[in-house]
Amino acid sequence: MLGTNAIRGSIEIPYIHFTEDQKLRASEVDLEQFLLRQGEKLLTSGHEKRLASDHSVTIRGNHWYDHAEETGGGPISFVRKFYGLSYPEAVLRLLGGEQGEAFEPVQRSSPREKKEFALPPHSPTMRRMYAYLLKQRCIRREVVDAFVHAKLLYESAELSADGSKEYHNAVFVGLDEHGVARHAHKRGLYTLGGGYKRNAAGCDPRFSFHHCGTSDQLYVFEAPVDLLSFLSLYPEGWQEHSYVALCGTSKHAMLRMLERDQNLQQIALCLDNDEAGIKATGRLAEVLQEKGYDQVGVLLPQGKDWNNDLVAQQTQTPNISMMMGG
């Protein structure tokens, strides 16, 4: 449930008759604007927004979708589900009944053509990417090298819309069974700001960044950097096992890995150690149980995510007095 500062107390509301015009206006409220005015934090994800408190929920215009639960709808159902309000309370909230403010309807535009998937253009060098992953993220060079040589990781060089700037990103590639690129997750290489993270347009979520091994073990992560961090923390024999980064918390890539390799029976859910990650772990575990998998474990990092653990390990200052017996 979202921030309590945006929720009224549970009070008795008498029967309210809403006109068809009022219902229509409530159903056309721009959810992004509504949530920002409630003080909620949103993250950019392609042409959509994601809830910072639950990365599985995306917002676009007056529609929402929960990729973990595979349910969605419009503003009224969103406010009812995530704010715990009744139908009349939700409509009143969307019409600005409490605060005397009206929320703007979503701006209608012509249907956007679905873009064909294409890998971002390559940079002539990978200098920036290696510096970012090795120095800032503390990932082992041999782990980075392995994915670069497999053509699953490279540095892109992309021009801004007006052509005045060039942006460089680490690109984590997802291949299908035939070795064809079907997914690309981009991670900004610049240190300033909140960090650019986005899937390329036209991605197929079933084929996100992954490695196929030969054992019966599959490790599931939220982000590619967490996957690489885990391999850096536990490098011994990692190539034998299979790994997948969901690039979010959706189940699709995990299920695709299990479909393509029937040998995978031991599954470790290694998502973030925060509210959204723990919630998603529970949902994915239920999905696996329903599919008949009974060897499902949970591995949680000590910090928020596996890269936090890796960086903490690499930057830990030794206690000199203890080493000298002081």
> Tens digit of pLDDT for each residue in 46-103?
678 888 777 778 888 888 887 767 778 888 888 888 888 888 888 888 887 643 344 5
User: What is the average pLDDT score of the chain?
Assistant: 84
Length of the chain: 326
Q: How far apart are CA 59 and CA 74, in angstroms?
A: 10
Domain ranges of the chain: 19-94, 127-314
The residue among 255, 298, 278 whose CA lies nearest residue 55 is: 278
Two domains, one topology: 19-94 and 127-314: no
CATH number of 127-314: 3.40.1360.10
Task: Calculate the alpha carbon distances from 158 to 133, 169, 208 in Å.
Answer: 19, 8, 21
At 172, phi and psi to the nearest 5? -100, 115
Q: What CATH class does 19-94 carry? A: alpha beta
pTM of the model: 0.69
Q: How far apart are CA 38 and CA 5, in angstroms?
A: 8
Conformation bin of residue 147: beta by default, left when phi > 0, alpha when psi is -120 to 50: alpha
Q: Can you read off the two tokens belonging to residue 8?
A: 């009224």
Is residue 126 pLDDT above 80, yes or no? Answer: yes
The amino acid occupying position 139 is: I
Residue 56 near residue 67 (C-beta atoms within 8 A): yes
